[in-house]
Amino acid sequence: MTPSELAPAFFLAVVVILAVCRLVGALLQRVGQPPVVGEMLAGVVLGPSVLGALLPGVEAGLFPEELRPVLYVVGQIGLVAFMFHVGWDFRVDRLRDVARPAGLVSAAGVLVPVVLGSALIAAVGERTGTLAPGVPLVVSALFVGVTLAVTAFPMLARIISERGLTETRFGSLALGAGAVDDAVAWVLLAGSSASPGAARGWCRWPSPAASGSSWCWRW
């Protein structure tokens, strides 16, 4: 696809994405859901799970392979700009009043998923055949537990921002706990990725771990 063909395809895809996001977001707002939930659901509708399964030709025409890296880069730029806006509005001085509860919430948000996820893999990992050959059980269990502890911090920040809770005590508590939770979880994830056996993969369920919602990856 040439640049002259890519440009109109890009703008058409953006218009469709924005229109569907607004439509789904407006529908979900009627049942009390924030717009970001509708936007996430709109991505599922326009992706291979719905549109690609029902109308694969339409999905391929709207989002050709050459266009997807461009949409990814634009999406990352928008995410960075939004997180900068959240950080700009966030007042660090409010953390002094919620430092202790934020630390406790963050600790629970890391420890509970790590313990439960590790226990799940330790209990059924070998019997269900989900472990990759040659990878120690402890390493796979730790990786799954840490992955479950990673939060969708941008989505949390978006909900708090849209609800006008950024400068409130509860908003500060949620953002502070979420930030610490994510920082600790990603450090632990990096550590588990550097463990012996990481180069051979963790298990047999291939899925991207960047979203924080997947179980494991294989490469």
What pLDDT digit, counting tens, does each position of 93-106 carry?
666 777 788 888 88
Smallest Cα–Cα separation from 138: which of 117, 155, 160? 117
Here the contacts of 68-75 (C-beta below 8 Å, separation 24 or greater) are 70/6, 70/10, 71/10, 71/13, 74/14
CB 102 within 8 A of CB 177: yes
Confidence of residue 70 (pLDDT cuts 50, 70, 90): very high
Return the pLDDT at 93.
Answer: 67
Q: How confident is the model at residue 91 (pLDDT cuts 50, 70, 90)?
A: low
The pLDDT, as a whole number, for residue 211 is 41
User: 4-18, 87-101, 164-178, 198-212: which range is least confident on average?
Assistant: 198-212
Tokens describing residue 88: 């700009």
